[in-house]
Structure 1
Amino acid sequence: MSLFAVILAGGQGRRMGGADKALLTLAGQPLIAHVIARLRPQAGRLLISANGDAARFAFTGLEVLPDETSLGPLAGILAGLRAAKTAGATALISVPVDAPFLPDNLITRLATALPGPGFARAGGRDHNATAIWPVTLADALAGFLASGAKPKIADFAAHHGACPVDFPDTGAFDNLNTPEDLARANIRSEGRPV
């Protein structure tokens, strides 16, 4: 089974003052470097979904996939699904770039949802952007995005029978959406109580 992963880095970072969240620094490294370090030992191949100048990610050595449409994270997942399918992968893992504490067994655990899609759940909270998607869903997702429906990951996932995959560490999926979140994450990365 060949599993690819796509890092969703196309957000506008509104609550971060419009900053490119992928390049914000956590413990001296860009956020995207933390996500890559978590995923690299787990995935067959890593991809980045982002718009704008792809050269800003040259330091990662990863392929950058632009969105075909500006319809949020599902557009990035679609780009990842198409690239993974073309390369012969079985499924795609999607993760947000602002979740630097992902678990070391993320992909192994999410793969238990196959042959269907699945998403991470921790502490009773769903993390729909952290999910596994069979590449066979690429056309269905393209149709969903073209339908004019409001593009919500949870809606598409539910329509295709996605199941939750439980993880014990609730902090593993913390998203850094605000400057305060980033400050707390820097304290956490230093091993100090938050």
Structure 2
Amino acid sequence: MPHFILTGTPGAGKTAILRRLEVRGHAVVEEAATDVIALSQALGDPEPWRGPEFADHVVALQQRRQHAVGRAAPGIVVFDRSPVCTLALSRYSGRPPSRRLLDEVERITADRFYERTVFFVRNQGYVRRTAARRISLDDALIFERIHEQTYRDQGFDLLEVPAGPLLERVTVVERALGTLSERPRP
């Protein structure tokens, strides 16, 4: 069962692409960090990403979702982010990655849980603030560079999904999914 990663800077439009893929019949897995933030904020922590265990909470949810997908029906699955994104966030925030995060990144790369080609969604030139997304465009662009380099450092190849209208971006992803999923897996 091929597992593909859809990633990019905050506000790049990943969720809109993911929703469209889901509506078109593709299996998708939600981003864990957004859900960890939403729950923490509902429990009274307005900025959970500042906590020392934030990355570990994200990794734990990512692991649960990976396990759940492993029990699902076979087919292509598109994940909104991965533990490599969590490592990039750790680097961006200047926090040393936890042992749990490093172990998980090592596991997913060694096990090849995700396909080596990652859909890297480029920023649209703006960032809409939300309760979970409070990053400026300038900071998002810095994070984008760190994010890209972190994936490359882990041996992934990036397939760029350029800025543009949603349907064009979805077409880029769907065409590549068709081509990439037909390749033999090492």
TM-score, length of structure 1 as denominator length: 0.33
TM-score, length of structure 2 as denominator length: 0.34
Structure number having the greater strand percentage: 1
